[in-house]
Amino acid sequence: MTDILSLRDTVEKYGLLAKKSLGQNFLLDMNITDKIIRSSLSAQNKKDFKGQCVFEIGPGPGGLTRAILNANPSKLTVIEMDSRCIKIMKDLKEKYGDIMQIVEGDALKYPFDKASNLPKNIVSNLPYNISVPLLLRWIRDIKQFNSLTLMFQKEVAERITAEPNNKNYGRISVMAQLTCKIKTLFNLNPNCFVPAPKIWSTVLLFQPLEKIPDAPILHKVEKLTEAAFGQRRKMLRQSLKNVPNIIELCDKAEIDTTARAENLTPQQYLRLANLI
What pLDDT does residue 6 have?
65
What pLDDT does residue 85 have?
86
* pLDDT tens-digit readout, 5-44: 566 666 656 556 545 554 456 777 889 999 999 999 999 9
The closest of 276, 271, 272, 268 to 165, measured between CA atoms, is 268
What pLDDT does residue 101 have?
96
Model pTM score: 0.90
Report all structural domains of the chain as residue ranges with CATH numbers, in order of start: 7-208 (3.40.50.150), 215-275 (1.10.8.100)
Q: What are phi and psi of 33, to 5 degrees?
A: -65, -40
What pLDDT does residue 2 have?
40
What pLDDT does residue 191 have?
85
Three-state DSSP at 213 gives: coil
What pLDDT does residue 128 have?
80
Please identify every stretch of the chain with a pLDDT value under 50, giving residue numbers as ranges. 1-2, 18, 22-23
| Rounded CA separation 160/171 (Å) | 9
Q: What are the contacts of 209-218 at 24+ separation with CB within 8 A?
A: 209/178, 209/179, 209/180, 209/181, 212/142, 212/143, 212/178, 212/179, 213/178, 213/179, 213/270, 213/273, 215/140, 215/141, 217/270, 217/273, 217/274, 218/140, 218/175, 218/178, 218/179
| Rounded CA separation 124/142 (Å) | 16
| Rounded CA separation 56/78 (Å) | 5
Contacts of 197 (CB under 8 A, 6+ apart): 25, 128, 153, 190
* pLDDT tens-digit readout, 48-65: 999 999 999 999 888 899
What pLDDT does residue 126 have?
86
